[in-house]
Amino acid sequence: MVNDSLHGLVEQRLRQVCQRYTNGRREVVELLARAGYPVSIGDIAELAPRLPRSSAYRHLVNLQQAGVVRRVSGNDEFSRFELAEEITEHHHHLVCTHCGKVIDVTPTKAFEEAMNKYLASLAASHGFASDDHRLDILGSCSTCRAPQPQL
């Protein structure tokens, strides 16, 4: 999952905006790639305790500018970060409204195509040009449903 082509791609993207691919940035990218789900700043502090908070935020901002990382808003008040879809692949999120857990899910191509087509016309009817979409499925994960099987 965390392979060389990922790092090559990230480095290239950073170079395009005149930035180096330093150890700190590499650490953040590896962490995001390994996690495989949108991580909060708390997760980062836990997974990379030696990385100062100010540096973590700065790396995330830089990587966002380079189009490598995107910010995701969950169900709670704080933001989470994940690798951009151009780096991984287009996906949506399953959000547990009880524990806040977020899981990535990849939709079928057919569904995406139908949705894109529909959304473009919906947007156009309101004077919008649609570039992208963001779809979150809200529900309860298996762990949170376990104690009450009849939810």
Partner DNA sequence: TCCGGATTGAGACTCAGTCTCAAAAGAGGC
Partner DNA sequence: GCCTCTTTTGAGACTGAGTCTCAATCCGGA
Chain residues binding DNA by CB under 7 A are 14, 18-20, 22-25, 40-42, 51-55, 57-59, 61-62, 77-79
Packing angle, helices 4-16 and 23-35, rounded to 10: 130
* 41 touches its own copies by CB under 8 A: no
Query: Which position among 57, 111, 113, 150 is part of the footprint of its own copies (CB under 8 A)?
Result: 111
* 22 touches its own copies by CB under 8 A: no
Edge to edge, what strands does the sheet with 69-73 contain? 39-40, 79-83, 69-73
* 109 touches its own copies by CB under 8 A: no
User: Taking CB within 5 to 8 Å according to partner kind, which of DNA, its own copies, none is near residue 24?
Assistant: DNA
User: Taking CB within 5 to 8 Å according to partner kind, which of its own copies, DNA, none is near residue 40?
Assistant: DNA
Q: What's the rounded Cα separation, in Å, for the pair 112 and 6?
A: 25
> Can you say whether residue 67 is alpha, beta or left, with left for phi > 0 and alpha for psi between -120 and 50 degrees?
left
* 103 touches its own copies by CB under 8 A: yes
